[in-house]
Amino acid sequence: MVPPTASPIDGEKPNGPRSRKGVQTRARLVEAAKKIFEKHGFLDARISDIAEEAGLSHGSFYHYFESKDEVFLEVAEAEEDRLSSHSVVDSGLLDPSSDATVRERLRESNRRYLADYRDEARIMGVIEQVSRYHDQVRDVRFARQRLYTKQTEDSIRLLQSQGLADPQLDPAIAAPALTAMVTRFAEMWLVQNLLDCSFDEGVEQLTMLCVNALQLKDRPGRRERRRENPT
């Protein structure tokens, strides 16, 4: 089917808004697409529904996106960017200025990841489903997963160098194993509803698994150091 033509809006070039208004309109379409995909899924979502949700004409959609697949990819990329900011062992775990213990920082990292996943569970369920048969969506997911898996690997190496993690672990193997456990756990729990527990219980059990897997030694945070060495 040949997409309907649309007159240029505000002097914009198709699929590449340059003005502030064009950027805002594109963002509105992405947000509208997310709502429609959450409501109808990928296969049943229609471009006309997305345009209507965004308050635009059907033809105007094609000024910014060539297809439903393209706007879905942008939605998926935005969600993966959001979630990939919380790797299993993120930079917060290694922050020497933190007032928390290693275990507390790992728990907070897991809590933030799972809270974000819970907030976006409806669209993540659609993305997870589509990635199983859509090569481009799968590539987007894998690219982000490779990024935070590498961050996790580097963090494990640093923890080992500080004597805080099991030196016998191979970080190149342990990192993808841990990230797979966390991401699959989030999907089973928060999308598929295969687990019945409170949010705090889920976070605590996942943290215990990560701590045990890495054999983390809980170096005292500043609060504990102050108690041990009062001035």
pLDDT band at residue 12, thresholds of 50, 70 and 90? Answer: very low
pTM of the model: 0.79
- Residue 86's pLDDT is 59
Q: Checking phi first, is residue 41 left (phi over 0); if not, alpha (psi -120 to 50) or beta?
A: left
In this predicted structure, the answer to whether residue 54 has a pLDDT above a threshold of 90 is yes
Q: pLDDT tens, 185-214?
A: 999 999 999 999 999 999 999 999 999 999
Tokens of 106: 């790992």
Q: pLDDT tens, 120-142?
A: 999 999 999 999 999 999 998 88
- Residue 11's pLDDT is 42
In this predicted structure, the answer to whether residue 29 has a pLDDT above a threshold of 90 is yes
Tally of residues, the chain: 231
pLDDT band at residue 220, thresholds of 50, 70 and 90? Answer: low
Burial of 79 (0-12, 13-18, 19+ CB in 10 A): buried
Fold of the domain built from segment(s) 20-66: Arc Repressor Mutant, subunit A (1.10.10)
Q: Are 101 and 221 in contact (CB under 8 A)?
A: yes
CATH of 75-222, one of 3.40.50.1970, 1.10.486.10, 2.30.130.40, 1.10.357.10: 1.10.357.10
pLDDT band at residue 217, thresholds of 50, 70 and 90? Answer: confident
pLDDT band at residue 83, thresholds of 50, 70 and 90? Answer: confident
pLDDT band at residue 144, thresholds of 50, 70 and 90? Answer: confident
Domain ranges within the chain, ordered by starting residue = 20-66, 75-222
Question: Could you give the C-alpha distances from 83 to 86, 199, 210, 218, 221, in angstroms and in order?
Answer: 6, 17, 18, 26, 26
- What angle is formed at CA 176 by the lines to CA 175 and CA 178, rounded to 5 degrees? 65
- What angle is formed at CA 168 by the lines to CA 166 and CA 173, rounded to 5 degrees? 95
> Between residues 14 and 193, which one has the greater pLDDT?
193
- Residue 10's pLDDT is 42
- Residue 172's pLDDT is 96
Which residue in 107, 122, 109 sits closest to 201, CA to CA?
Answer: 107
